[in-house]
């Protein structure tokens, strides 16, 4: 009897130590498919690194035959004062949650396959999640429909095609990108951005702190093709 108990105690200790524990420098984020009811949780590091959704959630109930169909995300543990951003190809913002402002987001009524090319980045709110230190987040909006889209734009003055940067946001509808306004939404101190048609004609402009927002049209304009945005810090002119 004594030997049986003696053997059982080490096994019990080993079993207890094997139980999964959350790292203190991570946040638990749940993605869900609200149509099927499936969901999956993963701990995301709070260092701002890009984590592939396919890798982080590939072994959860969300993964079906190499697909990862999702409609929403939310915090589920260790999320006080945390911000998370979901990117397409490490550039285009397609979803975001932040405590305490918004702990949950439904980004689509129709399940989207985010198995490949989608990443999540999380950080403490005082250090917002972002792709690099040399980017600014700019939001375009269709103020008639209420649709918006965010993307990180590099601050090196390079021309970024709107159709590519915002093509995977809620603004894109059947190959169109109808917009009426733009504004800064993150990391925009002393930043200047210009929107050009055919890389020649200036059609919109925002600059912090003078003009952080501009409505350039009351009627939605299709800027899917032929329109670019470039952003710089004043000293980089």
Mind listing the pLDDT tens digit of every residue in the chain (237 residues)? 444 444 444 443 433 333 334 445 899 999 999 999 999 999 999 988 999 999 999 999 999 999 999 999 999 988 888 889 999 988 888 999 988 778 899 999 999 999 999 999 998 865 444 444 588 889 999 999 999 998 989 998 999 999 999 987 889 888 899 999 999 988 788 899 999 999 899 999 999 888 899 999 999 999 999 999 999 987 544
Within 10 Å of residue 13's Cβ, how many Cβ atoms?
10
Q: Closest Cα to residue 122, out of 157, 61, 76?
A: 76
CB neighbour list of residue 128: distance below 8 Å, 6 or more residues apart: 83, 85, 186, 187
Whether 109 is in a domain gets the answer: yes
Whether 141 is in a domain gets the answer: yes
Q: Are 168 and 211 contained in the same domain? A: yes
Whether 1 is in a domain gets the answer: no
Q: How far apart are the C-alpha atoms of 29 and 105, rounded to whole Å?
A: 12
1-42 pLDDT, tens digit per residue, is 444 444 444 443 433 333 334 445 899 999 999 999 999 999
pLDDT of residue 156: 87
Whether 17 is in a domain gets the answer: no
Q: Are 116 and 145 contained in the same domain? A: no
Q: Are 141 and 199 contained in the same domain? A: yes
Q: Are 34 and 85 contained in the same domain? A: yes
pLDDT of residue 93: 86
Give the three-state DSSP class for 94.
Answer: strand
Give the three-state DSSP class for 10.
Answer: helix
Q: Are 62 and 139 contained in the same domain? A: no
For CA atoms 213, 214, 218, 221, give the dihedral sign: negative
- Helices and strands (H and E) in the chain: how many: 3, 22
pLDDT of residue 125: 64
Domain span at residue 164 reads 135-236
Whether 158 is in a domain gets the answer: yes
Whether 89 is in a domain gets the answer: yes
Whether 193 is in a domain gets the answer: yes
Tally of domains within the chain: 2
Q: Are 88 and 55 contained in the same domain? A: yes
pLDDT of residue 63: 95
Q: Could you say which of 124, 157, 175 is where a domain stops?
A: 124
Q: How far apart are the C-alpha atoms of 86 and 88, rounded to whole Å?
A: 7
Whether 186 is in a domain gets the answer: yes
């Amino acid at each position: 009897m004594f030997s049986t108990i003696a053997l059982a105690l080490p096994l019990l200790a080993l079993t207890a130590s094997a139980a999964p524990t959350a790292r203190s420098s991570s946040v638990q984020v749940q993605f869900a498919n609200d149509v099927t009811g499936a969901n999956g949780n993963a701990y995301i590091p709070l260092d701002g690194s890009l984590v592939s959704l396919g890798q982080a959630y590939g072994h959860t109930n969300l993964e079906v035959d190499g697909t990862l169909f999702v409609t929403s995300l939310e915090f589920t543990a260790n999320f006080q004062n945390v911000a998370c951003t979901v990117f397409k190809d490490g550039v285009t913002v397609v979803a975001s949650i932040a405590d305490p402002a918004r702990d949950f987001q439904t980004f689509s009524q129709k399940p989207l396959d985010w198995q490949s090319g989608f990443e999540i980045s999380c950080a403490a709110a005082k250090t917002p999640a972002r792709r690099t230190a040399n980017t600014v987040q700019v939001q375009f909006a269709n103020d008639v429909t209420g649709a918006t889209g965010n993307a990180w734009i590099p601050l090196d003055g390079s021309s970024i095609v709107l159709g590519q940067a915002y093509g995977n946001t809620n603004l894109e509808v059947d190959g169109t990108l109808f917009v009426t306004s733009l504004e800064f939404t993150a990391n925009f101190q002393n930043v200047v951005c210009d929107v050009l048609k055919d890389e020649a004609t200036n059609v919109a402009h925002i600059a912090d702190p003078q003009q952080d927002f501009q409505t350039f049209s009351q009627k939605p304009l299709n800027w899917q093709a032929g329109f670019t945005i470039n952003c710089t810090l004043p000293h980089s002119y």
